[in-house]
Amino acid sequence: MTDLGLQRPLDRFVGARTATALGKLGLRTGEDLLRHYPRRYTEPGRLTDLSELRTGEHVTVMAKVRQATIRHMRSRGGVMMEAVVTDGVRELALTFFAKHAGSLRPHESRLLPGRVGLFTGDVGRYKGKAQLVHPDYTIVGVDADDEQAALVEASRPIPIYPASSAIPSWRIATAVRTVLDPLGPGDLPDPVPADVRERRRLVDLHTALRGIHAPYSDDDHRRARARLVFEEAFVLQAALARRRAETAQADAVARPGAPVERPGLLAAFDARLPFTLTAGQRAVGEQIAADLARPRPMQRLLQGEVGSGKTVVALRAMLQVVDSGGQAALLAPTEVLAAQHLRTLRALLGPLAEEGMLGGAEDATRVVLLTGSQTAAQRREALLEAASGRAGIVVGTHALLGEHVQFADLGLVVVDEQHRFGVEQRDQLRQRSGQTPHLLVMTATPIPRTVAMTVFGDLEVSSLLDLPGGRAGVTTHVVPADNAAWLDRTWRRVREEVDAGHRAYVVCPRISPDDPADAEPADDVDLVSEEEALLFGEAERRRPLRAVLEVAEELSALPALAGVRVAVLHGRMTGPEKDEVMARFARGDVQVLVATTVIEVGVDVPEATVMVVLDADRFGLSQLHQLRGRVGRGSDPGLCLLVSTAPEDTDAATRVQTLARTTDGFEIAGVDLELRREGDVLGASQSGGSSSLRLLRVVRHADVIAEAREDAVAVVGADPTLEAHPALAAAIDQWLDPQREEFLERA
Ligand code: ADP
Ligand code: MG
C-alpha cells in the first residue's frame, strides 16, 4: 500500500487538528488510519443499554432524544441546556452550559425529540443521575445528502472505534472515509495473492477495508474481518518462512563428532552415564546429532516436561561439538540456574571435565562459568579459557551473547528454559560471527502448536514426551488461607517430611515485608497483573502479600517446626550467597528453604518432597507448574500445597484448582492461554508495534494460523525472493520494521 502515498502523514489527508488528535492514538500515516479497525458496530435501530454506564467511564452510546430544554441559571448567571436521551427505559442527561442562549441554539435544533444519535463523553453524576457534560455527538442519518441516502445510511451498521477522549468515534470514522473513499480496488496492492484468496474464499484488500470501516451489513464486516485476520497470519508466516529459507542458506561449521575409529568425549560420557537414556532422549538425540553434522545452522526448539531430562540431551549435543573441535555455550535465564548448570555438568562429566587436572581424563575438556557477579579475577580467567578454546563448554546467562565474550570457535549455543528467546536474540547470535553457531532452545513450558508456529515459527520443534522412570510424581492440594486448622496441618506435614530426611520449599511472592504492600513484585517475581489484583476487592488488595523474610522468621518460631533448619533464598542476595544456600539445601544442612520464584526453573534437589506456595493465587499458572516441578523428582512422592485466598469463581481460583486437578503440562498451558491476554502469550515484541498483530489471536485463530502457514510456505517456496509478490514483500518489511525498532529501543 505504498503507491498512493498512503505512507504520507495524516495531515495531508485530514485537517491538522484531526491529524493531531489521531496522532494521540498512535496513528501517523494514511495507512495507519486504514489499519485502525473499529472495535465493534452498532445497529442503528438498537439503542445502548444505559443501565451499564459506570461513573468516570468514557463512553459512546446510541440513544434517542426525549426532550431538550434551555433555562437561565439564576445562581451563576448564563444559560444551560439539558437534553434527556433514553434507551427506552433508562435516561441519561446531556448538559451544555453557555453565557447566552444563542450559543445553545445549534444544539437545540439538532437534538430534536425522537432523533437517534451517538453521544460520547465521560459519565458523571449530578444529584444521583448519570450525565454527560458537553458531550460530542452525531445525529444518525441527518447528515446525509438526500432522503434516499439518509435511509440507506440509517440502516447501516455504525463502526465504533476504540474509545478515546482525544477524538470521538465518528470523527475517526469520517477521517477514515476521507482516506478510503477515493481508493479503488487497483489502488491497494494485496499482500495475499489472488489464488490464495480464491482457495480460502477471502475478499480482496479493498473490499475488506471498505467492509470493516463502512459496511452495509453485518455480513460485510464479518467477511472483512475474516480476511484481515488471515492476512495478519499469512504475512507473519511468510516472514517466518522467508527467515527459515535465509537461515537454511547461512553457513555453519558441520560438527559431526569424533570419528568411529577414535571415540571421543561423547562416547566416554555415554559409557559412564549411570542410567539408560529414555526412548525420547535417544530419538531427539539422533535428530540433533544429524542437524549438527550438517554445514547449515541447526535451529531447534526442544520442549519437554519439567524433569524429562533435557540437560543430558543438551550435554550430549555439546560434547559432539567439542569432539569436533568446537565450543558450546549454555545460557540460563538466571545466575542461580547458570551456577547450578555448572555443578550439574561437572558432576555428570566427572573426570571428563577436568582437563589438565590431576585425575582428569585424557580427552577431557573444561566447563567454565561466566557471570556478572563473579570477581574480576574469576571473570578474567573464564574469559581467557573461552577465548583460548581451553574451555569446551561455557555456562552463563544471556549476557554471554551481548558482552564482548570471545570464543575460540563457538559451534553451538544452548538456551535453557527461555521461552522469550525471541527472533531478535536469534539474529544477534547470527550476527556475532561470520559462521552462525548451531542453536538449541529448550523449554519446559509446553507450547501449543500454533503458538510455537507464531513465536518460534523459524525453529524446528522436537519434544520429549516420556519422563525417565522411577519418578514418584506430585500430588497437589489447595489450602484455603483462612482455614487455621488446614494451615496448621500444612506445617505439620512439612515437619513429617523433614523428619523423614526430606526437604521442603516454601515459596512467597515478595522478599521483604518492608516492600510496598500493594502487589509490588520483587524483580525476580512475576506476579499476575495489577489489573487482576483490582478484582480482589479492597480488603484483599490491602492485605499484604507474604514475604520471604517475614515467613522465614515465623516458621523458625513455630512449635511444629522447632529445631528445623530454615534458610532464605531470593533475588536480592548476591550470586555467591545464593550458591552457598543452594549447596547447603542440597546437602541437607538447610531443611526448609523459604524462597521467591528464583527456584522456579531447573533447580534440582531430589530429596525435596514438599512445596508450600503462599499466596499461590497470585502466581501465573505456568509459573506454578514450573515451581511444582521442583518436588517429586526423586523416588519419593512429592506434595505441593497451594495456600490460596482467591474467592471462588475468579480466574485466580481457576488457576490453583487447575493445578490441583492435573499435572498434564499441555492441559495447563491450554488453560493458561485462555486466562491470559495476548501480549503475555507472544511477548512484548511480537504483540506490540503499530502495524503488526491487530486482530489475530494465537489461541482463537489456531486454524487460521495453520492454514496461513501452509499457504505461506507454498508461496515462499515457489518464489523465495518474493519477486512476483511485491505487495507481500512490502508487507513483511513493514511488519518486521516496528519489531526491529522496538528491539533497538530496548537494547
Ligand atoms: P529438565 O528436562 O527438567 O531440565 P533434567 O535434565 O534436569 O530435566 O533432568 C532431571 C533429572 O533426571 C536429573 O537429575 C537427571 O540426571 C535425571 N535424568 C535424566 N535423564 C534420565 C534418564 N534417562 N533416566 C533417569 N534419570 C534421568
Ligand atoms: Mg532443566
Residue 435's closest CA among 408, 455, 459, 397?
408
Of the listed ligands, the closest to the CA of 304 is 1
Q: What is the mean pLDDT of residues 3-14?
A: 83
Task: Give the residue extent of every domain in the chain.
Answer: 4-180, 265-464, 474-662
pLDDT, one tens digit per residue, over 552-580 is: 999 999 999 999 999 999 988 887 888 88
Can you read off the three cell numbers belonging to residue 435? Answer: 559462521
Q: Classify residue 307 by its DSSP letter.
A: T
Range in 20-34, 278-292, 572-586, 675-689 the model is least confident about: 675-689
What's residue 451's pLDDT?
Answer: 65
Q: Classify residue 448 by its DSSP letter.
A: -
**Reported CATH class of domain 4-180:** mainly beta
Q: Calculate what percentage of the chain has a pLDDT beyond 90.
A: 41
Atom of ligand 1 nearest to the CA of 311: 6
Helical pair 218-249 and 702-718, crossing angle rounded to 10 deg: 50
- Residues, the chain, total? 747
Q: What is the mean pLDDT of residues 88-115?
A: 90
Structure confidence at residue 45 as a pLDDT band (50, 70, 90):
low
Pocket of ligand 1 (CB under 6 A): 275, 277-278, 281, 304, 306-312, 444, 468, 604
Structure confidence at residue 608 as a pLDDT band (50, 70, 90):
very high
> Residue 235: what are its φ and ψ, rounded to 5°?
-65, -45
pLDDT at 535 over 70: no
pLDDT, one tens digit per residue, over 384-415 is: 999 999 999 999 987 777 667 889 999 999 98
Can you read off the three cell numbers belonging to residue 126? Answer: 449530578
pLDDT at 1 over 80: no
Closest CA to ligand 1's atom 17: 309
pLDDT at 724 over 90: yes
Range in 279-288, 531-540, 544-553, 702-711 the model is least confident about: 531-540
What's residue 474's pLDDT?
Answer: 86
What's residue 425's pLDDT?
Answer: 62
Rounded CA separation 164/25 (Å)? 8
Q: What is the mean pLDDT of residues 722-731?
A: 93
Atom of ligand 1 nearest to the CA of 304: 2
Rounded CA separation 641/421 (Å)? 31
Comparing 265-464 with 474-662, is the CATH topology the same?
Answer: yes
What's residue 154's pLDDT?
Answer: 67
Can you read off the three cell numbers belonging to residue 307? Answer: 524433569
Atom of ligand 1 nearest to the CA of 344: 16
Rounded CA separation 532/653 (Å)? 12
Q: Which residues pair with 137 in a beta bridge?
A: 119
pLDDT, one tens digit per residue, over 355-386 is: 877 777 777 899 999 987 788 899 899 999 99
Range in 32-41, 93-102, 350-359 the model is least confident about: 350-359
What's residue 373's pLDDT?
Answer: 79
Mean pLDDT across the chain, nearest whole number? 83
What pTM was estimated for this model as a whole? 0.62
CB 564 within 8 A of CB 588: no
What's residue 457's pLDDT?
Answer: 65
Closest CA to ligand 1's atom 18: 309
In 401-491 the beta strands, taken as DSSP E runs, fall at: 410-415, 438-443, 460-464, 474-480
Rounded CA separation 684/746 (Å)? 11
Structure confidence at residue 416 as a pLDDT band (50, 70, 90):
confident
Q: Classify residue 708 by its DSSP letter.
A: H
Question: Cα of 277 to ligand 1 centre, how many Å?
Answer: 9
What's residue 609's pLDDT?
Answer: 94
Q: Please choose from 278, 305, 312 the residue to mutate so as to test ligand 1's pocket, defined by most ligand atoms within 8 A of CB.
A: 312
| Cβ partners under 8 Å of residue 207, min gap 6 | 185, 223, 224, 227
Can you read off the three cell numbers belonging to residue 566? Answer: 530454615
Superfamily (CATH H level) for 474-662: P-loop containing nucleotide triphosphate hydrolases (3.40.50.300)
pLDDT at 588 over 60: yes
Helix (H, G, I), strand (E, B) or coil at 374: coil
What's residue 277's pLDDT?
Answer: 93
Structure confidence at residue 433 as a pLDDT band (50, 70, 90):
low
Highest mean pLDDT among 242-246, 255-259, 571-575: 255-259
Residue 95's closest CA among 115, 57, 123?
123
Q: Please choose from 269, 272, 275 the residue to mutate so as to test ligand 1's pocket, defined by most ligand atoms within 8 A of CB.
A: 275
Rounded CA separation 89/100 (Å)? 33
571 residue type, one letter: G
Atom of ligand 1 nearest to the CA of 276: 23
Q: What is the mean pLDDT of residues 83-112?
A: 90
Structure confidence at residue 46 as a pLDDT band (50, 70, 90):
confident
The owner of cell 441546556 is 81
Of the listed ligands, the closest to the CA of 469 is 1
Structure confidence at residue 454 as a pLDDT band (50, 70, 90):
low
Can you read off the three cell numbers belonging to residue 629? Answer: 516441578
Q: Calculate what percentage of the chain has a pLDDT beyond 70.
A: 83
Of the listed ligands, the closest to the CA of 314 is 1
More confident of the two residues 253 and 687? 253
Q: Please choose from 311, 316, 341, 605 the residue to mutate so as to test ligand 1's pocket, defined by most ligand atoms within 8 A of CB.
A: 311
What's residue 144's pLDDT?
Answer: 60
Rounded CA separation 23/172 (Å)? 11
Can you read off the three cell numbers belonging to residue 512? Answer: 521483604
What is the torsional sign of CA 568, 573, 576, 577? negative
What's residue 742's pLDDT?
Answer: 41
Say whether domain 265-464 belongs to CATH 3.90.1150.10.
Answer: no
Rounded CA separation 184/112 (Å)? 38
